[in-house]
């Protein structure tokens, strides 16, 4: 049996940090595996101290280390065009650290970087946080329909017997909001952008729900009429000059989340999600978060 990395479903944390790494081309597989084995030990020790660490591999690194991944897993490819696009900024490794306080998260992030220092270069290190009652910086509640952790595990973890069992495909995006322009809209228009009421996140009636509202574009159904779900752990980031959302979405099949992005950018019908008039994806990458057992076997 395999089990997912527990940090994926450890909810209730308020402080987050997302690190991206590129692994040196000169580093041999043995040294990379040794470093990642050390990282697995770091995950356990830091969890005891109040911080969770989740590790995800880009497709190239997974292949380099012969880590088994789902059949459809690949690097991110740019979706959309021009300013209305999600650019591919794929890296080799993602580390998501989260905990109940900034001190624990800082310590765990520093320990992770030191563990990887001999084989990888850190290229991005973003601090993020829970904003009020789990709201996006636009003021809307984020992830209203996100499944609970138990259900999330069922929809986001690869089943036993399949390639990559116990692991999860992860989309990581950094969205930068134009908050001044968005907040210049009156509240009813803001609600039409999102498709929900601002105070309490009630879905707008179908009679007034626009075709380009966010929930219209991302809520999809399969051939049997069942909603296609992913599990998300998105958190705001930023300061008074640049702010937005670190989007982390987990799934057992890449096509689920890839198709949602294509709907957002109007690839099939030319109708784009109105959210992207007020927020731009500055970075996008697909990663595979292997099972806990796979991480521990890396150096054996």
Active-site positions read: 142
Quote the crossing angle between the two packed helices 102-116 and 29-48, to the nearest 10°.
Answer: 160
191-195, long-range: CB < 8 A, 24+ apart: 192/274, 193/274, 193/275, 193/277, 193/278, 194/138, 194/140, 194/275
Phi-psi region of 77 (alpha: psi -120 to 50; beta: other; left: phi over 0): beta
Taking the C-alpha atoms of residue 266 and residue 273, their distance in angstroms, rounded to an integer, is: 7
Strand (E) positions, 24-153?
51-57, 79-81, 84-86, 93-99, 120-129
Taking the C-alpha atoms of residue 59 and residue 73, their distance in angstroms, rounded to an integer, is: 7
Asked whether the beta carbons of 191 and 198 are under 8 A apart, the reply is yes
Task: Give 66: exposed, middle or buried? Use CB within 10 Å, 0-12, 13-18, 19+.
Answer: exposed
Taking the C-alpha atoms of residue 87 and residue 79, their distance in angstroms, rounded to an integer, is: 7
Q: How far is CA 225 from the centre of its chain?
A: 26
Q: Which of 8, 1, 294 is nearest to 150 (CA)?
A: 8
> Residue 139, Cβ neighbours under 10 Å: how many?
16
Taking the C-alpha atoms of residue 158 and residue 253, their distance in angstroms, rounded to an integer, is: 8
Taking the C-alpha atoms of residue 140 and residue 201, their distance in angstroms, rounded to an integer, is: 7
């Amino acid at each position: 049996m395999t089990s997912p990395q527990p940090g994926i479903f450890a909810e209730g944390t308020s402080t987050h940090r997302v690190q991206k790494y590129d692994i040196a081309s000169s580093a041999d597989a043995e040294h990379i595996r040794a470093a990642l084995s050390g990282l697995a030990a770091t995950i356990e020790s830091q969890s005891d101290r109040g911080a969770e660490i989740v590790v995800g591999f880009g497709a190239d690194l997974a292949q380099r280390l012969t880590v088994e991944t789902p059949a459809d897993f690949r690097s991110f490819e740019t979706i959309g065009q021009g300013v209305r696009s999600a650019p591919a900024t794929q890296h080799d490794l993602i580390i998501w650290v989260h905990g109940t306080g900034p001190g624990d998260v800082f310590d765990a992030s520093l320990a992770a970087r030191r563990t990887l220092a001999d084989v990888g270069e850190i290229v991005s290190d973003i601090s993020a946080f829970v904003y009020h009652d789990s709201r996006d910086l636009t003021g809307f509640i984020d992830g209203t329909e996100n499944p609970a952790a138990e259900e999330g595990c069922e929809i986001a973890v690869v089943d036993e017997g399949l390639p990559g069992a116990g692991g999860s495909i992860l989309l990581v995006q950094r969205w930068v909001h134009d908050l001044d322009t968005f907040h210049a809209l009156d509240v009813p228009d803001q609600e039409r952008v999102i498709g929900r009421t601002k105070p309490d996140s009630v879905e707008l009636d179908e009679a007034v729900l626009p075709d380009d509202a966010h929930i219209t574009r991302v809520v999809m159904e399969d051939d049997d009429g069942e909603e296609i779900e992913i599990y998300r752990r998105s958190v705001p980031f930023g300061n008074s000059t640049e702010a937005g959302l670190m989007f982390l979405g987990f799934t057992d099949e890449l096509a689920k989340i890839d198709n949602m992005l294509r709907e957002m950018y109007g690839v099939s019908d030319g109708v784009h999600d109105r959210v992207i008039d007020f927020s731009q994806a500055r970075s996008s990458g697909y990663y595979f978060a292997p099972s806990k057992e796979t991480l521990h076997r890396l150096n054996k």
